[in-house]
C-alpha cells in the first residue's frame, strides 16, 4: 500500500506545509552578504512575538531542541548549582538526565507518568530551600500528552520569594498552545523547529529573559558552540557566529507568516478544537488517556492507553505498515502501553478524522474490541458544531487552495 502520503501523526516532526517547503527550496546564498539581515532581522522580531517576550531575546541554534536545553543550562548556571526539576515522562526525564550529566545538583521530583509539574511540591521545596538556582518545568510532556501550568510555577516561585531562574521546555507547546514568556516570567524557554513551527528538525530556539542574560555574564560553565556571547556579538546585526542553514531561515520566515496570518489566538483555538475532537473520539471508543485527568490534557498530543492485553507497539506497527499511518509509540515506562496521536502544526479536522479512522482499524487489527467508526462519529459531531460556532462568529476563513 505504498500510495499516497504517509499520514503523519507523530508529535513531531510535524507536517511541513507546502508553502514552507516551497520557501525552503532556495539556492544557497552568502550568509555574510550585505542584505542578509533583511532576511534575518524580521525572524528575530517574529520569534519574540511568538514567545511573547518583549524585553528578552530569542537565539536560534543550528541544533535539535536538546541543544537549546543545553544552551539554557550552560549559559546561566554553574556546576554544582542546585536546581528543582520534576520527572513524569520521557522528555522531562531526559532533561533531568542532562542536568545531572552537566554537573548540576538536581532535586528531582518524580510523579506518575500522566501527571505534570507538581506545584505543591515545588512550592514546598522553594519555601524550604533558598539555595535553588533554577526551577525547571516541562510545559508539554510529549511522551504522555500532559500540559503543565507554567504560570503556576511562576506563582509558586514568587510566593516562595525564589530568585531562581525559570527554565521551561516548550518544545511541543510553542506556537501551538498559549505561551507567555514575559507574563509568566519564564527566563529560558526552549523550543525547536519541528513542532508548532511546522519545519524540519534542525533549528532550536531559545527565548532568554533579561534576567537570564544577566545571569549569563557571571555563569562559569565552559561553553563555546552554545555560548550566548557569540550570538550577542552577531545577532543584532543580522548575522550568526556560525554558518546558518539558509533554507531553514527561509522556511521560518514562511512559517511565521503563516502563524501571524492565521493569528496566534486562532492557532491556539484550532489546536484546542482539533485536540478536543480526538479526545471525544478516544472516549467514544471506550479508551482512556495516559494523562490522568482533564487538567493535564494536552492540546498538541494525546497518548492513548490500549486495553489490557493489547500491545500498543503492535497498534503502531499495524498503523504504519497496513494503514500508512505514523502514530507515536509509547516510550520508556509506557512502551507497549500507549500509542500517541500528535495533533499539532499544519492540521485540519478531516486529517484528525483520518487519524482516528486509522487508529480504530489498527486497534481492531491488534485485538482491541472497538466499534469501528464510533470514534470518528464522536469527533465528527464535535467538529461540526465547533466549526458551526466558528462560522457564526465569522472566524473561519474560507479555504483557498495553496
- Around Cβ 335, how many Cβ atoms within 10 Å? 14
- Interacting span for a second copy (CB under 8 A) from 82-90, 109-117, 151-159, 390-398: 390-398
Q: Contact letters (x/-) for a second copy, 127-166, by CB under 8 A? A: ----------------------------------------
Angle, vertex CA 307, rays to CA 305 and CA 313, nearest 5: 65
Match 503502531 to its residue by C-alpha cell: 316
* Per CB under 8 A, 322 contacts a second copy: yes
3 state DSSP class of 346: coil
Site for a second copy in 359-378 (CB under 8 A): 360-361, 364-365, 371-374, 376-378
Query: Does residue 202 interact with a second copy by CB under 8 A?
Result: yes
CA distance linking residue 12 with residue 64, whole number of Å = 12
Query: Which residues from 88-117 bind a second copy, rule CB under 8 A?
Result: 97-98, 101-103
Positions 6 through 35 that interact with a second copy (CB under 8 A): 6-8, 10, 12-18, 21-35
What residues between 328 and 357 interact with a second copy by CB under 8 A? Answer: 328-329, 346-351, 353-354, 357
**Which window, 50-58, 130-138, 175-183, 237-245, contacts a second copy (CB under 8 A)?**
237-245
Q: What is the phi-psi region of residue 362: left when phi exceeds 0, alpha when psi lies from -120 to 50, beta otherwise?
A: alpha
Please answer whether residues 268 and 176 qualify as being in contact, where contact means their C-beta atoms are separated by less than 8 angstroms.
yes
How far is C-alpha 289 from the chain's CA centre? 19
Interface with a second copy includes 4 (CB under 8 A)?
Answer: yes
Task: Report the largest interatomic distance among the alpha carbons of the chain, rounded to a whole angstrom.
Answer: 63
Question: Closest CB to a second copy among 36 and 88?
Answer: 36
CB of 386 to a second copy, least distance (A): 11
Residue 204 DSSP SS3:
strand
Dihedral over alpha carbons 377, 381, 384, 387 (to 10 degrees) = -110
Specify the 3-state DSSP secondary structure of 108. Answer: strand
Q: Is 320 in the site for a second copy (CB under 8 A)?
A: yes
Pick 310 or 376: Cβ nearer a second copy: 376
Helices (H), 366-401: 374-392
Residues 268-307 that bind a second copy (CB under 8 A): 270
C-beta closer to a second copy: residue 15 or 148: 15
Report the alpha-carbon distance of residue 333 to residue 308 in Å, rounded.
Answer: 16
Tell me if 250 contacts a second copy by CB under 8 A.
Answer: yes
Q: Return the bridge partners of 113, or none.
A: 115
- Shortest distance, position 41 Cβ to a second copy, whole Å: 14
Whose Cβ is closer to a second copy: residue 293's or residue 385's?
A: 385
CB of 157 to a second copy, least distance (A): 25
State how far the alpha carbon of 83 is from the alpha carbons of 91, 109, 163, 254, 319, in Å.
17, 11, 12, 37, 41
**402 binds a second copy, rule: CB under 8 A:** yes
Q: Closest approach of Cβ 393 to a second copy, in Å?
A: 13
Amino acid at each position: 500500500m505504498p500510495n499516497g502520503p504517509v499520514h503523519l501523526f507523530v508529535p513531531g516532526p510535524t507536517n511541513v506545509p507546502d508553502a514552507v517547503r516551497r520557501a525552503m527550496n532556495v539556492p544557497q546564498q552568502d550568509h555574510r552578504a550585505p542584505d542578509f539581515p533583511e532576511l534575518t532581522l524580521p525572524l528575530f522580531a517574529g520569534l519574540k512575538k511568538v514567545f511573547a517576550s518583549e524585553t528578552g531575546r530569542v537565539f536560534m541554534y543550528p541544533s535539535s531542541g536538546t541543544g537549546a536545553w543545553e544552551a539554557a543550562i550552560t549559559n546561566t548556571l554553574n556546576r554544582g548549582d542546585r536546581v528543582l526539576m520534576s520527572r513524569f515522562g520521557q522528555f522531562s526525564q531526559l532533561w533531568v538526565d542532562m542536568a545531572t550529566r552537566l554537573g548540576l545538583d538536581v532535586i528531582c521530583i518524580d510523579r506518575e507518568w500522566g501527571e505534570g509539574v507538581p506545584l505543591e511540591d515545588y512550592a514546598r521545596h522553594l519555601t524550604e530551600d533558598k539555595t535553588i538556582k533554577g526551577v525547571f518545568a516541562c510545559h508539554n510532556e510529549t511522551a504522555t500528552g500532559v500540559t503543565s501550568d507554567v504560570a503556576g510555577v511562576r506563582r509558586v516561585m514568587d510566593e516562595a520569594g525564589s530568585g531562581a531562574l525559570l527554565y521551561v521546555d516548550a518544545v511541543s507547546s510553542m506556537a501551538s498552545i498559549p505561551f507567555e514568556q514575559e507574563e509568566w516570567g519564564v527566563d529560558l524557554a526552549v523550543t525547536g523547529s519541528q513542532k508548532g513551527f511546522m519545519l524540519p528538525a534542525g533549528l532550536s530556539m531559545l527565548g532568554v529573559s533579561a534576567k537570564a542574560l544577566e545571569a549569563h555574564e557571571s555563569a562559569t560553565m565552559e561553553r563555546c558552540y552554545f555560548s550566548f556571547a557569540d550570538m550577542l556579538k552577531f545577532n543584532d546585526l543580522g548575522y550568526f557566529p556560525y554558518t546558518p542553514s539558509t533554507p531553514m531561515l527561509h522556511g521560518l520566515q514562511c512559517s511565521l507568516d503563516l502563524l501571524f496570518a492565521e493569528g496566534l489566538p486562532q492557532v491556539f483555538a484550532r489546536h484546542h478544537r482539533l485536540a478536543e475532537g480526538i479526545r471525544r473520539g478516544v472516549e467514544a471508543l471506550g479508551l482512556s488517556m495516559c494523562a490522568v485527568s482533564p487538567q493535564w490534557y494536552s492540546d498538541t498530543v494525546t497518548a492513548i492507553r490500549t486495553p489490557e492485553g493489547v500491545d500498543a507497539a503492535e497498534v503502531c506497527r499495524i498503523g504504519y505498515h497496513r494503514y500508512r499511518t505514523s502514530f507515536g509509540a509509547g516510550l520508556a515506562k509506557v512502551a507497549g502501553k500507549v500509542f500517541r496521536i500528535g495533533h499539532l502544526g499544519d492540521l485540519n479536522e478531516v486529517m484528525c478524522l483520518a487519524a482516528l479512522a486509522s487508529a480504530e482499524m489498527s486497534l481492531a487489527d491488534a485485538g482491541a474490541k472497538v466499534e469501528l467508526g464510533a470514534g470518528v462519529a464522536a469527533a465528527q459531531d464535535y467538529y461540526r458544531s465547533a466549526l458551526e460556532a466558528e462560522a457564526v462568529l465569522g472566524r473561519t476563513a474560507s479555504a483557498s487552495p495553496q
